[in-house]
Chains A and B, each alone.
Chain A
């Protein structure tokens, strides 16, 4: 098996599993490709025939509404057929292994798998299996695996940042909150460092930071007021209470007091700073409603851009 299973022999992106180790040229190519796809939504027929005849299977072993829906919309705007599998109540609960499920779906002529799984590495396992069995015309997109990666979210965050800030190389970006449980944070950090953003800051209490987070090339700040100073971009993360085992925090109210983004804290960042959130957001826990709905919030444009970015990823990998 090759060292980077996302890239084929011709150096093209054939699966999207993680942003870690992806060359900047490929990231730029995806963002550039997404750009004209944004305008498809404004057409009378919100569709182009690029993936006509291809079948995309949404394999979600973990709940998601936004990501699954936006992948479905992206595939439909490219004229692909979309099959949604509710894995929780299907074969897996009857004891079928992941790779047996994949083989069965390949026998139904699948062209694309969009995979979300609570186990880190599941999409990688599927991609390796497809390569080893010679099915190079079937492609995998990681839609979130455990705490590992969520590359299309990272890419849509990069697209949003580039849309509002134009250039990556002068920016200070703060990622605030539950870094420990966040695959979104990991993917975004890899994306930002690859695109040579000079200052990436993570702001969180010590209990919500992974050990050795500095090794990812970020500054660590525990005090939010100190961390927000001079920021161009603020990315708020959801407090993932459902993944928390044990007492990492005193209470949601206490968390909001120290790490919730309020108008008063936002005033410490640059006057033109933008506020992002991957959703779903907990109002009054990590973000105040006045900020979430305020003029600096680009949270809803993120969702719209997410469709175009996923269209770009699907159309690039399915063409290899």
Chain B
């Protein structure tokens, strides 16, 4: 794996994503951003894609698979889906696609609101390393990154997006608790 590979420019990746989605995404598809980075990307896409796209946000804290390992994530946000999920065409949007676990959690959560007609996945960057059979429909950029690093999206006060690198957070407990 090439650890020296430069980080993609987030604004450039967004422009690429808009190009790839424009024309391909249903004109009335709902855009649902996964908090927090995916929510920023979803807001930008809603403004730039042609058509009228309902915009929603999803917090997957209650659907994650690591509650037994690391407990409840602090500062969960309210999931807000201001459209009828049943029968909707939905594009899930995330900033960084890695293991696929957040996407699994988000799909499960969407189904608790109704049965969508179709779910697609758009990501700003795909860094590989999948642990679940999840593939994006639309990708802004691709990148190979060492496992001990996290790619983190940030947004400056003007709304400009940028990628940064952080050491991956260590899980608090190596093993699920024994009973």
Proximity bits, B95-126, A CB within 8 Å = 1, else 0: 00000000000001100111000000000000
B74 touches A29 (CB 8 A): yes
Q: Residue B164 at the A interface, CB < 8 A?
A: no
B78 touches A44 (CB 8 A): no
Known: A43-B112, A316-B72, A320-B71. A48 touches B78 (CB 8 A): no
Known: A44-B112, A49-B62, A50-B67. A32 touches B75 (CB 8 A): yes
Closest CB of chain B to A289's CB: distance in Å?
A: 35
A-B contacts at CB below 8 angstroms, number: 49
- Residues of chain A lying within 8 A (CB to CB) of residue B63: 48-50
Interface size class of A (residues with CB under 8 A): 20 to 34
Q: Residue A137 at the B interface, CB < 8 A?
A: yes
Number of B interface residues in the complex (CB < 8 A):
22
Query: Which residues 72-101 of A have a CB within 8 angstroms of B?
Result: 78
- Residues of chain B lying within 8 A (CB to CB) of residue A78: 62
- Residues of chain B lying within 8 A (CB to CB) of residue A170: none
Closest CB of chain B to A76's CB: distance in Å?
A: 14
Known: A36-B76, A316-B72, A319-B67. A44 touches B62 (CB 8 A): no
Query: Which residues 56-108 of B have a CB within 8 angstroms of A?
Result: 59, 62-63, 67, 70-72, 74-80, 108
Proximity bits, A127-161, B CB within 8 Å = 1, else 0: 00000000001000000000000000000000000
B59 touches A36 (CB 8 A): yes
Closest CB of chain B to A48's CB: distance in Å?
A: 4
Proximity bits, B19-63, A CB within 8 Å = 1, else 0: 000000000000000000000000000000000000000010011
Among residues of B, the one whose C-beta sits closest to the C-beta of A111 is B179
Among residues of A, the one whose C-beta sits closest to the C-beta of B81 is A43
B108 touches A49 (CB 8 A): yes
Closest CB of chain B to A297's CB: distance in Å?
A: 26
Q: Residue B170 at the A interface, CB < 8 A?
A: no
- Residues of chain A lying within 8 A (CB to CB) of residue B171: none
Most chain-A CB neighbours within 10 Å: which of B59, B112, B179?
A: B112
Known: A319-B67, A320-B71. A33 touches B76 (CB 8 A): yes
Known: A35-B78, A50-B62, A137-B177. A319 touches B71 (CB 8 A): yes
A44 touches B114 (CB 8 A): yes
Q: Residue A47 at the B interface, CB < 8 A?
A: yes
- Residues of chain B lying within 8 A (CB to CB) of residue A50: 62-63, 67, 72
Closest CB of chain A to B37's CB: distance in Å?
A: 18
Among residues of B, the one whose C-beta sits closest to the C-beta of A320 is B71
A39 touches B112 (CB 8 A): no
